[in-house]
Structure 1
C-alpha cells in the first residue's frame, strides 16, 4: 500500500458505505473511571481513546494510527491484567507445564524454563533471561519497515487485547505500550516474516524496543530505542513470566493492516457511488435498472442500498427526462453497478463485524481465565489446567485462538468484490471515450485537433489487471514451519495488504473515470448550458472542477490524475 494516508487523520468515511462502516464499528463507551497512571501527557493533544478490552472500534484504531491519538485505560482494565497475571503465577507455583512460562515455545515446548513451585530469585532470573532471549531470537523480520501508522495501530490492538484479561502479561508491559503510544515512540518493525498464525517475528521487534533494544521512530527520526526511552525518562522493561510471548504471540500487526485496508475499501466504495452517478450523466445513461420498483424484485441488501444511493445522487438530473437519443439498455458495466457495488458493500459489512470481534478479543496461546473453576463433570485432563491456591482461582489453557482464518477469508472475499468494482469502472472509462455510446467526440476532445483521453486508458487497464492478480488470494499458500508443528497458516498480513493495494489501485481507476465523466458532462453543458445535473452530482462536479479544470487543450495529464486521486481520497466537501 502507498504512504498517502499519513495526513488523513481526521477524515471521516463518506456516503452510505461510511455510515455502515462507522455504525458497525462504533460501540458504547466503557463508562469506567480512567486510571490516573494512564494519563500521560500526549504530544499530539486532543481527547484520548479509552481502551478497555471491549469497545475498541475501527474508527478508534484509525484515530490512534493515522491521527496520532493518545490512549488511556479504565482502572478496571488494569485490574483484570493483574488478576490474569496472578492466575499465571499460581499455575507456576503449582508446577503446571505452561507454554511460554515454565516451558519453551514452538518446537521447544518440551524444554523447562524454570522448575515449578515457589518462584525463587534463581527462577526469576531464569525467566527474565528466557524472555529477553526469546524476544531477541524471534525478532527476525526483514524487509522495509512498516509505516508508523501501522505499528501504532498494532500496538493499540495488542494493548486492547491485553486488557481483555486473558493474556497473563504484567502491568509494566501494558504501561510500556501506553507510554510508547502517548510519547510518540514507534518501534521500527520490518514487514516480512509473518505467515498469518500470529505475527510473532514482527511483533517481537516491539518487545525489543520495550527492553530498550532495536530502533524506534521518534520525533521524526530513527534512533535507538534506548535513546528515546532515556529522553522521555522511561525505564526499559525487564520481561518476566509470559511477557515475551504475550507481546508477540498475536495477530495485531495483520489486524492493523486489515483495519486500514477495510477503512480505505469503505471510502473507495462510497466514492465509487459518486463517480458512477456522474459517469451516468456523462454517458446519458438509462436510470431504469436503479428504480426502486426494479430493485424490490431482487432485494439483496447491498444492491438495494447502492441503487438507492445512485437515485439520491441523480435526483433532479436530466436523466429522468425522456431523451430519444438515450439507449434502451446501457453496457453491463453501467447496468450492473448496484449489483456489483452492493455485493462489495455486503462483504464490507461482514468484514467490519469480524474485525470488531478480533479487536476486542484475546488471541493468546495459552489463554488465562480469571476465576474459572472446572465443570463438575470435568475429566482429569480438563482439571489439569485449573488452579486454586493462595486465594487465586482460574485456568491456563492451550488454545488455537490465534487462527485468524475467519476474517482472512473475508478479506479475500472483499478483495475479489473490489476487483469487480474496479473492473467495471475500467470498462465504463472505455465506453465514455467511444462515440458509439456517448454520441460525443472520440476520447472526449473539445475540438477536432485534440488527442484527448486516448493514452490515459492504459492506466485503468494496467491497474485493473493488477487488481485481478491481487484478488487471487494468499491464504492457501501454506508452507509448514517450526519443525512441522506449525503446518498450516493464513498469510493474514499478505491478504490484508492485497486488499489495501486493491483499494489504492481502485482510487486511481476511479480518478480516471471521474476525469472522463466530468469531461463528458462539460461537453454536454457546452451544448446545453441549462442541462440540470443531479442533487448530488452537481456539487460533486463543481467541487471537482475547482481542483481539475476542463480539458480544452491537450496537456500533461499525470498531474490531473494525481489531483483527481487526492480529491477522491480527501474529505467530501460537497
Structure 2
C-alpha cells in the first residue's frame, strides 16, 4: 500500500493494519480540513461570546456546573490532559498506538470536534515520523471515551510524558525534538477533542479482529491437515449437506476444507474406514463457520467505529452543539467480547484435535507422535500447554461488558469496560494462535507416520502446500534428544503468524 488518504468516512481495517504495522504514510484530504476549519470557527465564536457549552468553558464530568473564564479556557485543556494521564501497566504495543493515532485523526477530520487543523497535523506528523507515545495498557473504563490512554497519547504533543522514537524511550519533549516536530499549546476544546472517544479500545480490538480473521483461515488449514492425518470422512463437508442449513460461515468453511483437500487420497468416505468421525473433525464447518460469522459481525462494527466521531460535545459547522454519548464504548465492548468468544472457540476445538493426534487410544499413531514412546515424550506436553492456553481463554472470555462501576461522582454511572474487552480479545487471539500452530505441527508429524504406513497416499493441493512449508524449516521430530521442542513451537508460531504461510497456501487454493 503506497499511502493512505484520510477523509473521515472510508478508512478500512486493512488500511489500519498497513499504517499500524508497516508504517504506510498517511495524508489528509483537503476537503476534510475545510470541515475542520468550519467546526473550529464555531468553537471560537462560542468562547468569544461566552455562551455556556460543556467542555469549552465548563469543568468536566460532574464538574460541568463549574464555569471557566475566557482567559482560562486554554489552561483548562492542558489541565485535562495532565490530570487524566494516570495509566498503569506495560505500555501498549507500537502497532496499537499507531492505530490509535490513525483512528483518532480520522475521527477528528470529520469536522465536528472543534479542533484546530494545526493540532491534527501535529498528531499526523507524529504518526508519519514514528513518534510513539508511551501509553500504559490499563486505566480506561471505556466510557467518557478512553480518557486515560488518550491523555497519555497527547502528552508528547505538549512536550510532556514519554514516547518511543527509533526504538528508544525518551521524554516526550526530546522525542518530538529528535523527530523535528514542534510541540503545541492546546486551545479551547482541544484537550477534550483529543482524549474523549473510543479510540484506544477500537485500535486494540480492530487489530485483534484482523488477526482473528486470519486465524480462522489458519484453523481451517489445521483442521484439514488433521482430517487427512486421521483419514477423515470428507462427506461431512459436501456442499449438498450444508446447503440445507445454509449459515454463511458453515458453507465457507466446508468449501475451504474441500478446496484444501482437493485431490487427496488420504480422506475417506462413509463406512470405508469408519462410519463417522468424532465431532472435532466432522463438525469443523459448524464450529469454525460460526466463528467466521462472529468475526464478520465484529468486523462490520469495526468498519463503522473507525469512521465515527466519538467526541463530546459535538460541534456542527452550522453552530449547533450537542452534548451526547458518542464516547460510550458499549457499541464496541459487546462485539469485542463476542470476538473473544469466537477466537476462544477456534482454540478450544483445535486443542481437542491436538489431543486426538497425540493420544494413541484415539488414533492409530504411536503415543505422543514419537518413535520409541517412553524413552521419548514427543508431543506429550504440547497438549498440556495447549490445554493451559485454552483454559486461560475461558477465563478471559467472560464478558467485560456486563460489568460497570460508577465514576465521576455518579455523573458517569454506567460504563462499558470496552477497553478490557478489547485487551482480553487480543490475548485470546494470541493464545489460540499458538494452539492452532501446535496443531499444524502435530498434524504434519502425524502425516509423516501415515506416509510410513502407506507411502502411496497423498495430500490435497492446499494441505500439501501447507505441509511443504512446514517441512522446509521444521523437520520430522524423531526423538527428544535432537530437538528443543519449545524452539520448534516458536518456529512454527513465527511461520504462521509472521511468515507468508497463509498467503502461500492461498496461492494454490482459495480460502474464505
Q: TM-score range by the shorter chain?
A: over 0.9
Q: Are 1:519 and 2:445 counterparts?
A: yes
Q: 1:428 aligns with which of 353, 359, 368?
A: 353
TM-score of the pair, normalised by structure 1: 0.84
Q: Are 1:437 and 2:365 counterparts?
A: no
- Offset, 1:60: 1.2
Q: Is the 1:284–1:438 contact (alpha carbons within 8 Å) kept by the matching residues of 2?
A: no
- Offset, 1:246: 0.5
Q: 2:132 aligns with which of 157, 170, 186?
A: 186
Q: 2:405 aligns with which of 471, 479, 482?
A: 479
- Offset, 1:65: 1.3
Cα-to-partner distance string for 1:24-53 (whole Å, 9 max, x where unaligned): xxxxxxxxxxxxxxxxxxxxxx83311110
Structure 1's 85 and 430: CA in aligned 2 closer, same or farther, altered over 3 A?
Answer: same
Higher helix share: 2
Q: Is the 1:172–1:237 contact (alpha carbons within 8 Å) kept by the matching residues of 2?
A: no
What is the alpha-carbon distance in structure 2 between the residues aligned to residue 441 and residue 320 of structure 1? 20
Q: Counterpart of 1:101 in 2: which secondary structure?
A: coil
Q: 2:485 aligns with which of 557, 561, 568?
A: 557
What is the alpha-carbon distance in structure 2 between the residues aligned to residue 172 and residue 104 of structure 1? 24
Structure 1's 534 and 435: CA in aligned 2 closer, same or farther, altered over 3 A?
Answer: same
Aligned-residue Cα RMSD (Å) equals 1.6
- 2:181 aligns with 234
Residue segments in structure 1 that go unaligned for 5+ positions in a row: 1-45, 115-122, 372-393
Q: Counterpart of 1:143 in 2: which secondary structure?
A: strand
Q: Are 1:77 and 2:32 counterparts?
A: yes
Q: Are 1:348 and 2:273 counterparts?
A: no
What is the alpha-carbon distance in structure 2 between the residues aligned to residue 207 and residue 333 of structure 1? 48
Structure 1's 447 and 144: CA in aligned 2 closer, same or farther, altered over 3 A?
Answer: closer
Matches within 5 A, 1:15-414: 47-114=2-69, 123=70, 125-197=71-143, 198-321=145-268, 326-371=273-318, 394-414=319-339
Q: Is the 2:295–2:339 contact (alpha carbons within 8 Å) kept by the matching residues of 1?
A: yes
- 2:396 aligns with 470
Q: Is the 1:88–1:396 contact (alpha carbons within 8 Å) kept by the matching residues of 2?
A: no
What is the alpha-carbon distance in structure 1 between the residues aligned to residue 3 and residue 42 of structure 2? 31
Q: Are 1:534 and 2:460 counterparts?
A: yes
What is the alpha-carbon distance in structure 1 between the residues aligned to residue 206 and residue 370 of structure 2? 41
Structure 1's 323 and 252: CA in aligned 2 closer, same or farther, altered over 3 A?
Answer: closer
TM-score of the pair, normalised by structure 2: 0.94
Structure 1's 57 and 165: CA in aligned 2 closer, same or farther, altered over 3 A?
Answer: same
- Offset, 1:492: 1.2
What is the alpha-carbon distance in structure 2 between the residues aligned to residue 335 and residue 300 of structure 1? 16
Cα-to-partner distance string for 1:500-520 (whole Å, 9 max, x where unaligned): 111111111112211221111
Q: Counterpart of 1:47 in 2: which secondary structure?
A: coil
Q: Is the 1:365–1:401 contact (alpha carbons within 8 Å) kept by the matching residues of 2?
A: yes
Q: Counterpart of 1:297 in 2: which secondary structure?
A: coil
Q: Counterpart of 1:259 in 2: which secondary structure?
A: helix
- Offset, 1:170: 1.0
Q: Is the 1:340–1:417 contact (alpha carbons within 8 Å) kept by the matching residues of 2?
A: no
What is the alpha-carbon distance in structure 2 between the residues aligned to residue 300 and residue 322 of structure 1? 24
Q: Are 1:461 and 2:387 counterparts?
A: yes
- 2:509 aligns with none
Q: Counterpart of 1:487 in 2: which secondary structure?
A: coil
Deviates more, 1:561-570 or 1:269-278: 561-570
Q: Counterpart of 1:329 in 2: which secondary structure?
A: coil
Q: Is the 2:89–2:137 contact (alpha carbons within 8 Å) kept by the matching residues of 1?
A: yes
**Number of equivalent positions:** 498
Structure 1's 547 and 138: CA in aligned 2 closer, same or farther, altered over 3 A?
Answer: same
What is the alpha-carbon distance in structure 1 between the residues aligned to residue 13 and residue 125 of structure 2? 22
Structure 1's 239 and 513: CA in aligned 2 closer, same or farther, altered over 3 A?
Answer: same
Q: Is the 1:445–1:451 contact (alpha carbons within 8 Å) kept by the matching residues of 2?
A: yes
What is the alpha-carbon distance in structure 2 between the residues aligned to residue 86 and residue 399 of structure 1? 21
Residue segments in structure 2 that go unaligned for 5+ positions in a row: 506-512
Structure 1's 302 and 75: CA in aligned 2 closer, same or farther, altered over 3 A?
Answer: same
What is the alpha-carbon distance in structure 1 between the residues aligned to residue 8 and residue 201 of structure 2? 18
- Offset, 1:550: 0.7
Q: Counterpart of 2:402 in 1: which secondary structure?
A: coil
Q: Is the 1:423–1:464 contact (alpha carbons within 8 Å) kept by the matching residues of 2?
A: yes
What is the alpha-carbon distance in structure 2 between the residues aligned to residue 74 and residue 324 of structure 1? 63
Q: Counterpart of 2:31 in 1: which secondary structure?
A: helix
- Offset, 1:494: 1.0
What is the alpha-carbon distance in structure 2 between the residues aligned to residue 322 and residue 244 of structure 1? 65
Deviates more, 1:292-301 or 1:401-410: 401-410
What is the alpha-carbon distance in structure 1 between the residues aligned to residue 205 and residue 33 of structure 2? 27
What is the alpha-carbon distance in structure 2 between the residues aligned to residue 235 and residue 456 of structure 1? 52
What is the alpha-carbon distance in structure 2 between the residues aligned to residue 324 and residue 307 of structure 1? 20
- Offset, 1:137: 1.0
What is the alpha-carbon distance in structure 1 between the residues aligned to residue 173 and residue 343 of structure 2? 43
- Offset, 1:341: 0.7
Q: Counterpart of 1:488 in 2: which secondary structure?
A: coil
- Offset, 1:482: 0.7
